[in-house]
């Protein structure tokens, strides 16, 4: 008897003639390919006899679900009217980003939404889009770089060092930060995250664990960076009890690397198979959190967010060690994530795709560009923004437009004027690509209050 199982083998075993057969064959081909046909039949028969026992099982849970309560696959119609929403800084946001939000607001699962003042168009939800849904999570509403994150360490060091010891600080970034798909640290560090059960229990994560270990403490390409700069504390009532004044800061921006990208790819595929939608919103396919795949994505997404934090922790630990100095304050926040949050008395899933959580008293960092200041902020808990704020200045020009519009010499001139040293970086990340951060902050004065600023001085990006 060969190894290959067919649908008729499962029907002969007693499987109902429905989608449970295809789901079982899919799981067997993915996870049991090397086993004998007899062994495969024996295992799947146990699931058929008592599916309840296999509910939640990483391999057979999906088959059990199909036998007990199959996921209903049907074309979902959009609502005729939009759910409630707010737009901040509307006059500075392109129409395409607004239309993407308007489409998302018509999903049958949508409760409410908001658009931040740094918004621009993306896939599915616009960047800067916030969407609250009812018991459903949209993988593309979270984004590909799950848990993309800002982290700022403040050191009790004189800012004059950034000029006087510029070459030393440049060398630290050049040697101790790694970027892109291929750079990794020669000396790998372990982290408690790798002992998490999700890496053992969820087959996809098990396959990605080695890559995640290798990429720990590295940053992605594109707009990700690690930079030294000047932190100015401007709020006398700051949370760290720091005297007003200037300090050296280390700011990093990156996400969950290959781990998050692969999670996004896998569960977006599953969502589109289970949730057919009209063409204009097909990127907004969702997973019901009561389903096996929905629960599994939620676990995987949260692991990816924690992994992104572990990467930043590693970056800051490595550089702190080389500096021979411990930070006196640390501020950090996710974007590209989904949270459980109460909206009008009901627990919802709030997606923030390129938006900063800004609950009352919650701290965050909103960067500008490499020649403009970023802001350390404290959330005001504004309900109209679903307790959110922008995640940066936001793009004014697309990557393609930057390559057509700007030159390296123009960028160098702008960096020189601003007194900024750049290691790496492409034309698509030109400072001119971004909106005016001061205007963005004006447009969200009801969302956050400013605690301090961060002005970049030495910037490291992917080559």
64 contacts 45 by C-beta, under 8 angstroms: no
| pLDDT for 463 | 86
Q: What share of the chain is helix, strand, coil (3-state, %, to 5)?
A: 40, 25, 35
Structural domain count, the chain: 2
Q: Are residues 54 and 171 in the same domain?
A: no
CATH number at residue 326: 3.90.1860.10
Query: Which of 224, 283, 292, 391 is flagged as catalytic?
Result: 391
In a domain, 377, yes or no: yes
In a domain, 250, yes or no: yes
Q: Are residues 57 and 204 in the same domain?
A: no
How far, in Å, CA of 193 to CA of 196, rounded?
5
| pLDDT for 1 | 46
| pLDDT for 356 | 98
| pLDDT for 88 | 98
Regions of the chain short of the pLDDT cut 50: 1
Instruction: Indicate if 391 belongs to the active site.
Output: yes
Residue 441 burial (C-beta neighbours within 10 Å; 0-12, 13-18, 19+): buried
Q: Are residues 34 and 177 in the same domain?
A: no
143 contacts 336 by C-beta, under 8 angstroms: yes
Q: Are residues 64 and 153 in the same domain?
A: no
| pLDDT for 66 | 95
Question: Structure pTM?
Answer: 0.94
| pLDDT for 375 | 98
How far, in Å, CA of 191 to CA of 211, rounded?
14
Q: What is the dihedral of CA 183, 185, 188, 193, to 10 degrees?
A: -60
314 contacts 189 by C-beta, under 8 angstroms: yes
Is residue 26 within a helix (H) or strand (E), and if so which, with residue range? helix 19-31
| pLDDT for 2 | 57
Q: 315-343: per-residue pLDDT in tens?
A: 999 999 999 999 999 999 999 999 999 99
DSSP states along 294-330:
HHHHHHHHHHHHHHHHHHHHHHHHHHHHHHT---SEE
**Domain range for residue 34?**
7-68
């Amino acid at each position: 008897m060969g190894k290959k199982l067919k649908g008729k083998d499962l029907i002969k075993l007693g499987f109902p003639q429905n989608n449970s057969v295809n789901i079982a064959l899919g799981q067997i081909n993915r996870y049991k390919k090397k086993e004998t046909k007899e062994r495969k039949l024996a295992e799947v028969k146990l699931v058929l006899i008592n599916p309840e026992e296999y509910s939640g099982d990483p391999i057979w849970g999906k088959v059990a679900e199909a036998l007990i309560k199959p996921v209903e696959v049907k074309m979902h119609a959009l609502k005729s009217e939009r759910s409630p929403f707010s737009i901040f800084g509307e006059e500075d946001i392109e129409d395409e980003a607004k239309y993407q939000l308007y489409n998302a607001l018509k999903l049958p699962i949508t409760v409410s939404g908001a658009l931040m003042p740094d918004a621009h168009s993306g896939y599915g939800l616009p960047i800067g889009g916030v969407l609250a849904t009812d018991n459903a999570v949209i993988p593309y509403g979270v984004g590909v770089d799950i848990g993309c994150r800002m982290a700022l360490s403040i050191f009790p060091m004189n800012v004059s060092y950034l000029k006087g010891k510029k070459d030393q600080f440049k060398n630290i970034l050049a040697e101790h930060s790694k970027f892109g798909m291929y750079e990794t640290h020669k000396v790998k560090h372990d982290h408690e995250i790798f002992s998490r059960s999700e890496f053992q229990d969820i087959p996809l994560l098990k396959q990605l664990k080695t890559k995640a270990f290798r990429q720990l403490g590295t940053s992605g390409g594109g707009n990700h960076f690690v930079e030294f700069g000047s932190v100015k504390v401007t709020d006398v009532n700051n949370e760290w009890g720091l005297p007003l004044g200037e300090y050296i800061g280390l700011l990093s921006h990156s996400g969950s690397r290959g781990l998050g990208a692969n999670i996004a790819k896998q569960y977006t595929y599953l969502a589109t198979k289970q949730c057919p939608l009209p063409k204009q919103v097909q990127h907004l396919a969702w997973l019901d959190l009561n389903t096996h795949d929905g629960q599994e994505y939620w676990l995987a997404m949260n692991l990816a967010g924690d992994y992104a934090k572990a990467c930043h922790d590693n970056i800051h630990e490595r550089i702190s060690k080389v500096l021979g100095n411990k930070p006196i304050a640390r501020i950090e926040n996710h974007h590209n994530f989904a949270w459980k949050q109460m909206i009008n008395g009901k627990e919802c899933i709030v997606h923030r795709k390129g938006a900063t959580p800004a609950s009352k008293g919650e701290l965050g960092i909103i960067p500008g560009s490499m020649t403009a200041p970023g802001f350390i902020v404290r959330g005001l808990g504004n309900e109209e923004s679903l307790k959110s704020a922008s995640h940066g200045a936001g793009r004014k020009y697309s990557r393609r437009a930057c390559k057509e519009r700007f030159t390296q010499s123009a960028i160098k001139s702008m960096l020189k004027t601003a007194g900024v040293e750049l290691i790496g970086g492409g034309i698509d990340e030109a400072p001119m690509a971004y909106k005016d951060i001061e205007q963005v902050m004006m447009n969200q004065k009801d969302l956050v209050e400013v605690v301090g600023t961060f002005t970049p001085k030495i910037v490291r990006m992917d080559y």
